[in-house]
Amino acid sequence: QVSCAVEQPIVIGLAADSGCGKSTFMRRLTSVFGGAAEPPKGGNPDSNTLISDTTTVICLDDYHSLDRTGRKEKGVTALDPKANDFDLMYEQVKAIKEGKAIEKPIYNHVTGLLDPAELIQPPKIFVIEGLHPMYDERVRELLDFSIYLDISNEVKFAWKIQRDMAERGHSLESIKASIEARKPDFDAFIDPQKQYADAVIEVLPTQLIPDDNEGKVLRVKLIMKEGIKFFNPVYLFDEGSTINWIPCGRKLTCSYPGIKFSYGPDTYFGQEVSVLEMDGQFDRLDELIYVESHLSNLSTKFYGEVTQQMLKHADFPGSNNGTGLFQTIVGLKIRDLYEQIIAERAGVPAEAAKV
Ligand code: ADP
Ligand code: G6P
């Protein structure tokens, strides 16, 4: 019986600094699972939770033990483990994994206060996104798959400026100051989690434009750990080989500075990984099918599914580059992982457990 899925969710961890594309990634992921995620109906309008038919995404900011005033008084940032309740996080993620509902606190981003708890039912797929999904060893052990979005400082800066200056009216100086103020805690508590991730999406400035500092064209790496059960890394042309590919021939329109793919084995924090890299951006998203046709182990259900997903969300940030492409691919890999876990539990072939 495949229905045991409802009772025992699989748990996914997504770690990144704030403003690094977690919510965009979540929208791509829930779309792969076939439905947009919405805030809980009739609940606190400031809830950070998103629910779809299959997936519930909670934001780990809800486990802040110190509210905004408390953090200010104690002189700690939200990144500091002292401002977060890992015991409660562990208990509740464990409860969900055992198929039990939880009363999860809500951190209200508008007021900076902790609001009354909300009831969260166990879904099929439970995603914990935030600053610390892989920080606490007990929580880490509960994760069936983990992802770290590693946005380099240069790119983070460019995105923050774009958002906080354009949309929130902050000054350049104040943005610089807030990034600098967070950096020591980011380096101490957030960044080290990437060594535990099963997949890392690393976002760097392009190497195709000499001395580029605009941060518009990106070089994006998808770092995939080897030897993870139910996760077979994607490859380009020939599994395990080292490949450089500039696909700007007759089939792909590339304006300056072009597109470059690389693929090959590597090590990451002493562990074997496969790395797929894309530098540059697509001019025409529909031509992505040409790139897709050269990638293997994509876990698609039909030819062109990656391209279809990318076209469907062409308006999301990063749809013309490796960030959107690799987020979409990781979404498909998670769907595959889910189906295989469920099939194994039920003792049936993976085909029978497809969503
Ligand atoms: P988070 O949930 O981690 O705070 P969001 O997904 O809300 O991050 O993204 C924050 C901002 O970062 C977006 O409004 C956008 O300006 C920028 N951003 C996110 N992802 C990308 C991307 N792939 N390419 C360019 N900008 C991006
Ligand atoms: C959330 C975010 C943090 C951010 C904080 C604001 O917890 O995840 O990244 O720093 O809100 O904190 P502040 O102390 O400025 O209210």
* Complex confidence, ipTM: 0.92
Identify whether the C-beta of residue 211 lies closer than 8 Å to the C-beta of residue 154. Answer: no
pLDDT band for position 210 (cuts 50, 70, 90): confident
pLDDT at 5 over 50: no
Q: How confident is the model at residue 284 (pLDDT cuts 50, 70, 90)?
A: confident
Cα-based angle 135, 138, 140 (whole degrees, multiple of 5): 55
131 in contact with ligand 2, CB cutoff 6 A: yes
Ligand 2 atom index nearest CA of 59? 8
Ligand nearest the Cα of residue 107 is 2
Amino acid at 71: R
How far apart (Å, rounded) are the C-alpha atoms in residues 12 and 132?
A: 13
**CB hemisphere CA count around 315 (13 angstroms):** 0
Q: Rounded to the nearest whole angstrom, what is the distance from the C-alpha of residue 306 to the centroid of ligand 1?
A: 20
pLDDT of residue 179: 85
Alpha carbon 231 to its chain centroid, in Å, reads 16
How many residues appear in the chain? Answer: 355
**Is the Cβ–Cβ distance between 216 and 324 less than 8 Å?**
no
Q: What is residue 1's predicted lDDT score, i.e. its pLDDT?
A: 42
Residue nearest to ligand 1 atom 14, measured at CA? 163
Distance from residue 192's CA to the centre of ligand 2 (Å)? 19
Gap between the Cα atoms of 125 and 334, Å rounded: 10
Q: Distance between CA 93 and CA 123 in Å, rounded? A: 12
Pocket of ligand 1 (CB under 6 A): 16, 18-24, 159, 162-163, 317-318, 323
Q: Are 300 and 354 in contact (CB under 8 A)?
A: no
What integer best gives the mean pLDDT of the chain? 92
Q: 56-60, 85-89, 287-291, 301-305: lowest mean pLDDT where?
A: 287-291
The predicted structure's pLDDT at residue 353: 67
Please give the pLDDT value at position 134: 98
Does residue 304 contact residue 197 with C-beta atoms inside 8 Å?
A: no
pLDDT in tens, 236-251: 999 999 999 998 877 7
SS3 16: coil
**Model confidence pLDDT, tens digit, residues 173-197:** 888 888 888 899 999 999 999 999 9
Residue 6, pLDDT above cutoff 80: no
Question: For residue 67, how far is its CA from the centre of ligand 2 (angstroms)?
Answer: 9
Query: Does the beta carbon of 112 lie inside 6 Å of ligand 2?
Result: yes
| Atom 6, ligand 2: residue with shortest CA distance | 78
Q: In this predicted structure, what is the pLDDT of residue 83?
A: 97
pLDDT, average across residues 261-269: 98
Phi-psi region of 179 (alpha: psi -120 to 50; beta: other; left: phi over 0): alpha
Tokens at 328, concatenated: 């979409």
Nearest CA to ligand 2 atom 12: 78
Confidence (pLDDT) at 332 = 97
| 178 pocket-lining for ligand 2 (C-beta < 6 Å) | no
User: If you measure from the C-alpha of residue 10 to the centroid of ligand 2, how many angstroms do you get, rounded to a whole number?
Assistant: 28
Give the pLDDT band of residue 3 (cuts 50, 70, 90): very low
User: What is the predicted pLDDT for the residue at 242?
Assistant: 96
